[in-house]
């Protein structure tokens, strides 16, 4: 600390009406809105900080990280300046501002921080014309529950000023502690720049048998792998964990330099966007492939020749093979969780293991509550997210290490393991199509008509013929969730009906609206 104390300023502002966080305390908007609209980012950051009770906020520790996308460095600086002005005592920040979402959750839990701010728009594109986002994780390391998101939104609608230290500057590249003297503050404000991988890697070492995975990747008949970080945050993690720690050749990892625009690509690990990996796997040279999204919480698994493992199957296969993981042999398995759109493949495994399955709305915050109460050990969503109670976030690299552990233990290929699973538990089919840029009026008509369809009692028992097969409607539902922990009711989450029937109904809606193209049906 040198020179005069840094002044703390109060800046007048006016509220924006569109800062309602989506599920989990996150605000995701076009980057130009954050960058160009006056005080748009400071307003939301102040709303987040003000949602923490003053007594809990003063002198507390928080974690800050980003996926490295465009505008992250500027936003990190603003977050630091505002955290200091709002009485936060210490910030833990990844070197160069980089921290994966699972690593943020890990650090929050490890150091018992008050929460964390993650600058990410997940799997959405980056760059000036892309997306930017701010996500708030609470003290358990998980996404903010709805009550916190609602509080943030209410504050954002009435905000009149925010506090900031505009002259405070930090060096994100320099590991170690930096301290700053602030006006009217009795204690210095501290920033600690940490290696983005180390704390998270130490946790992984306690979960997995690293020697077994290393033997798989380096021993006789080694498994050749191909892992695509998609120029997101996971590059440093892939190199340090899979290559340096577990011995995979350096050329096993591709697109490992985090870029502000993700190399102009869409950092979404699926068959549509992870085409570089898919083409490499189709050649047959590699026995295992994986890709991660921008912030590292989603993943995709491929086998030799491009054999695709669906997220719902991946979750079920992981559940059926948890005995391969030392962590679960020690901790046991208490229950499973899946989002409503995820296939019921997991339910078959749970029945065989005699453990409960909790069906929740989409959003990891619902799983966090189950895990905090000790009800749930493993959770997953059809949107390529899986995790366990080691954190309160979905965790892409953890899922990849689980798969490598299963391969090491069973000494089979990815495809053999999947086909054995189908033979034992049956195969569950899942299909997803996405509407993008649909007009609100058309959206309203689709949901209105689908809800009318599935709530009509005469719909049960109807039959639909497709080719030589006839399908009968067994169940329909307008899904709502009652949290078994606190009794909270979450309504109007989804319309549940047989895929064939909904597809036929949507085709009729397309005819009326003139809409052609992707649809969401599960």
| Per-residue tokens: 197 | 């991988």
Inter-axis angle of helices 40-50 and 72-85, nearest 10: 40
Within 8 A by CB and 6+ apart from 339, the residues are: 359, 360, 361, 362, 363, 366, 380, 381, 382, 383
Supply the DSSP string of 31-90, one letter for each residue. HHHHHHSTTHHHHHHHHHHHTS-HHHHTT-EEEEEE---TTHHHHHHHHHHHHHHTT--E
The residue-averaged pLDDT of 179-201 equals 93
Cα 272 to Cα 518: distance, rounded to the nearest angstrom: 13
Does an H or E element contain 149, and which?
helix 146-158
Interacting residues of 411 by C-beta distance below 8 A, sequence separation 6+: none
pLDDT of residue 120: 96
Question: Can you spell out the DSSP letters for 170-204?
Answer: --TTS-EEEEE-BTT-SS-EEEEEE-TTHHHHHHH
Residue 91 pairs with which residues in a beta bridge?
Answer: 62, 191
Task: State the Cα torsion 111-117-121-123 to the nearest 10°.
Answer: 0
Model pLDDT, residue 172: 97
Q: Which two tokens stand for residue 109?
A: 């839990």
Q: Among candidates 76, 98, 36, 137, which has minimal Cα distance to 368? A: 137
- 285-299 confidence digits (pLDDT tens): 999 999 999 999 999
**Does 505 score more than 70 pLDDT?**
no
Indicate whether 468 pLDDT > 60: yes
Torsion over CA: 264, 266, 272, 274 (sign): positive
Output the six-digit token pair for 222: 């080694």
Separation between Cα atoms, residue 224 and residue 185, nearest integer Å:
56
Q: Which of 51, 66, 105, 122 is catalytic?
A: 122
Question: What's the mean pLDDT in 54-72?
Answer: 96
Indicate yes or no: pTM above 0.85: yes
Residue with tokens 């009652």: 482
The per-residue pLDDT for 337 is 97
pLDDT at res. 521: 34
Q: What is the pLDDT of residues 151-188, one digit of tens each?
A: 999 999 999 999 999 999 999 999 999 999 998 777 89
Give the C-alpha separation, 300 to 314, whole Å: 9
Single out the residue of 61, 64, 113, 124 nearest to residue 90, CA to CA: 61
Tell me the pLDDT band of 493, cut-offs 50, 70 and 90.
Answer: low
pLDDT for res 341: 87
Q: How far apart are the first and last CA of the chain?
A: 57
Q: How far apart are CA 330 and CA 312, in angstroms?
A: 25
Domains of the chain, with CATH numbers?
Answer: 7-194 (3.40.120.10), 197-423 (3.40.120.10), 431-519 (3.30.310.50)
Residue 335, pLDDT score: 97
Q: Is the pLDDT of residue 2 over 70?
A: no
Using the 8-state DSSP alphabet, how is residue 502 labeled?
H
- Mean pLDDT, the chain, rounded, equals 91
- The per-residue pLDDT for 432 is 72
pLDDT of residue 498: 52
Active site residue 51: no
pLDDT in tens, 329-380: 999 999 999 998 899 999 999 999 999 999 998 889 999 999 999 999 999 9
């Amino acid at each position: 600390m040198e020179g005069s104390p840094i002044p703390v300023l109060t800046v007048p502002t006016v509220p924006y009406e569109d800062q309602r966080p989506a599920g989990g305390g996150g605000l995701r908007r076009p980057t130009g809105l954050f960058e160009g609209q006056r005080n748009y980012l400071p307003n939301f950051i102040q709303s987040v900080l003000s949602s923490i009770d003053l007594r809990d906020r003063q002198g507390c520790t928080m974690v800050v990280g980003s996926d490295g996308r465009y505008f992250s460095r500027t936003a990190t600086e603003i977050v630091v300046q505002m955290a200091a002005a709002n009485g936060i005592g210490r910030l833990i920040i990844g070197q160069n501002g980089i921290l994966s979402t699972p690593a943020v959750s890990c650090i929050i839990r490890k150091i018992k921080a008050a929460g964390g701010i993650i600058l990410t728009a997940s799997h959405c594109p980056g760059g000036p014309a892309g997306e930017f986002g701010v996500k708030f994780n609470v003290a358990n390391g998980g996404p903010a529950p709805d009550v916190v998101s609602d509080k943030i939104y209410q504050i954002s609608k009435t905000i009149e000023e925010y506090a900031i230290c505009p002259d405070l500057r930090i060096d994100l590249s320099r590991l170690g502690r930096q301290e700053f003297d602030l006006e009217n503050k009795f204690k210095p404000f501290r920033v600690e720049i940490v290696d983005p991988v180390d704390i998270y890697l130490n946790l992984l070492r306690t979960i997995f048998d690293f020697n077994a995975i290393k033997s798989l990747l380096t021993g006789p008949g080694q498994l050749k792998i191909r892992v695509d970080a998609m120029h997101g945050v996971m590059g440093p993690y892939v190199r340090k964990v899979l290559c340096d720690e577990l011995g995979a050749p350096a050329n096993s990892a591709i697109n490992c330099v985090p870029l502000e625009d993700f190399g102009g690509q869409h950092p979404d690990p699926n068959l549509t966007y992870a085409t570089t990996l898919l083409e490499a796997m189709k050649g047959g040279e590699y026995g295992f492939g994986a890709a991660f999204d921008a912030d590292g919480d989603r993943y995709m698994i491929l086998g030799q020749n491009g054999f695709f493992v669906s997220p719902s199957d991946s979750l079920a296969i992981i559940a059926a093979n948890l005995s391969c993981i030392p962590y679960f042999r020690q901790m046991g398995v208490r229950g499973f969780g899946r989002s409503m759109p995820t296939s019921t493949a997991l339910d078959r495994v749970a029945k065989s293991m005699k453990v409960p399955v909790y069906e929740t709305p989409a959003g990891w915050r619902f799983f966090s509550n189950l895990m905090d109460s000790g009800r749930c050990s493993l959770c997953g969503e059809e949107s390529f997210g899986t995790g366990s109670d080691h954190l309160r976030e979905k965790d892409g690299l953890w899922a990849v290490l689980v798969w490598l552990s299963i391969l090491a233990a069973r000494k089979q290929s990815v495809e053999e393991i999947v086909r054995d699973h189908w033979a034992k538990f049956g195969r569950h089919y899942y299909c997803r199509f996405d509407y993008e840029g649909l007009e609100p009026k058309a959206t309203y008509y689709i949901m209105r008509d689908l809800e009318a369809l599935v709530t009509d009692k005469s719909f049960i028992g109807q039959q639909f013929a497709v080719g030589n097969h006839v399908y009968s409607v067994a169940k329909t539902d307008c899904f709502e969730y009652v949290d078994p922990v606190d009794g909270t009711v979450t309504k109007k989450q989804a319309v549940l009906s047989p895929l064939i029937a909904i597809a036929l109904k949507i085709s009729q809606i397309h005819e009326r609206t003139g809409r052609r193209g992707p649809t969401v049906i599960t």
